[in-house]
């Protein structure tokens, strides 16, 4: 389980509080003990953690071993429960904690199904859901699910655009290079004035800036992008400028970044799975992370 600060921890002071997000990884538990993820969610909820997130790969293929992502043979069978199903179960097991998909590989789902699933999760969680999405990297996964890997960025844009249309009104129509429909109804959907936040993960590119500004609400850089703190700060500043140019309030931009270990010490890192000796130590490690995070709650980012 990794943890991260939620907010804008890499930018100048803007008056927004830092918040704590923890990741509930299926790999923390044996395949027959995936129900224990709900125990982690309950504990995080009771301890005052702000967000809990879950990761995703729908399927893993052998080419992942040569993709340069650090995967090894034993990783291919580690438990990775479906993200939105898991978050729905967590919604029923918790009361106040926010539920984040970090991430859902949005192009792997038909746009209408993604819209309906996300809207349902938003409704049953009393508005606690944040849809984190990306196009991801594994070609095997795309091939097995019949989605063209080469145009995954376009499919991501189209799917989220279609979701926004289906969430906004009924009947809804949407036309794009990969998604087209007229006169469709999605119910439940957000109430007037309600918005399902969408956070995009992935490299910081002009296209990423456009999709965050036009379709999204936040950015999840995380460590895999290899960006320095200064580079992230510059990227967040550019996003805020783009928000302002588009007539959006820059203060509403959300940034969720991961924290990394320093010298193998949990005092300076918050990756619970690495620092838990086993599944039975997850709770105590979570408690220590929460305790060490408390002084940061007084800070603004």
pLDDT score recorded for residue 274: 58
**pLDDT mean over 3-32:** 69
pLDDT-based confidence at residue 6 (cuts at 50, 70, 90):
very low
Nearest to 283 by CA among 38, 7, 111: 38
Handedness of CA 158, 132, 55, 64 (dihedral sign): positive
Nearest to 100 by CA among 53, 135, 134: 53
Total domains in the fold of the chain: 1
Q: Is residue 49 part of a domain?
A: yes
**Which residues make Cβ contacts (< 8 Å) with residue 151, sequence separation at least 6?**
177, 178
Q: Which residues pair with 262 in a beta bridge?
A: 265
Calculate the average pLDDT of the chain: 88
51: enclosing H helix or E strand: strand 51-54
**Lowest mean pLDDT segment, chosen from 35-39, 192-196, 258-262:** 258-262
Q: Is residue 282 part of a domain?
A: yes
What is the pTM (predicted TM-score) of this model? 0.91
Q: Is residue 182 part of a domain?
A: no
**pLDDT mean over 189-210:** 95
Q: Is residue 50 part of a domain?
A: yes
pLDDT at 266 over 60: no
Q: Is residue 301 part of a domain?
A: no
pLDDT at 18 over 90: no
The CB-based long-range contact list for 75-84 (8 Å cut-off, 24+ gap) reads 78/26, 78/27, 79/26, 79/27, 79/29, 79/30, 79/31, 79/34, 80/26, 80/27, 80/55, 80/56, 81/26, 81/34, 81/37, 81/54, 82/56, 82/58, 83/54, 83/55, 83/56, 84/117, 84/118, 84/121
Query: What is the extent of the structural domain holding 222?
Result: 3-165+194-296
CATH code of the domain covering residue 237: 3.20.20.30
């Amino acid at each position: 389980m990794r943890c991260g600060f939620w907010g804008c921890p890499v930018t100048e002071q803007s008056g927004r509080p830092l918040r704590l997000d923890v990741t509930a990884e299926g790999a923390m538990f044996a395949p027959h003990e995936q129900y224990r993820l709900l125990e982690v969610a309950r504990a995080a909820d009771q301890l005052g953690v702000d967000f809990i997130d879950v990761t995703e790969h729908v399927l893993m293929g052998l080419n992942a071993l040569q993709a340069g992502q650090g995967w090894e043979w034993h990783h291919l069978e580690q438990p990775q429960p479906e993200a939105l199903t898991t978050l729905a179960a967590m919604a029923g097991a918790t009361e106040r904690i926010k539920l984040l998909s970090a991430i859902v590989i949005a192009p792997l789902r038909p746009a209408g199904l993604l819209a309906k699933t996300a809207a349902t999760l938003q409704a049953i969680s009393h508005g606690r859901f944040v849809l984190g999405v990306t196009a991801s990297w594994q070609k095997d996964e795309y091939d097995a699910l019949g989605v063209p890997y080469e145009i995954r960025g376009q499919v991501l844009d189209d799917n989220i655009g279609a979701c926004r249309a289906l969430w906004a009104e009924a009947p809804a129509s949407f036309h794009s290079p990969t998604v087209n429909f007229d006169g469709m109804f999605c119910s439940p959907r957000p109430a007037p004035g309600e918005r399902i936040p969408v956070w995009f993960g992935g490299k910081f590119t002009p296209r990423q800036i456009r999709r965050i500004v036009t379709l999204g609400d936040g950015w999840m850089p995380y460590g895999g992008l290899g960006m320095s703190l200064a580079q992230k700060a510059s990227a967040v500043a550019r996003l805020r400028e783009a928000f302002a140019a588009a007539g959006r309030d820059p203060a509403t931009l959300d940034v969720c970044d991961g924290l990394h270990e320093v010298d193998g010490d949990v005092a300076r890192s918050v990756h619970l799975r690495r620092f838990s000796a086993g599944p039975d130590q997850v709770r105590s490690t979570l408690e220590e992370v929460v305790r060490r995070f408390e002084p940061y709650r007084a800070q603004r980012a």
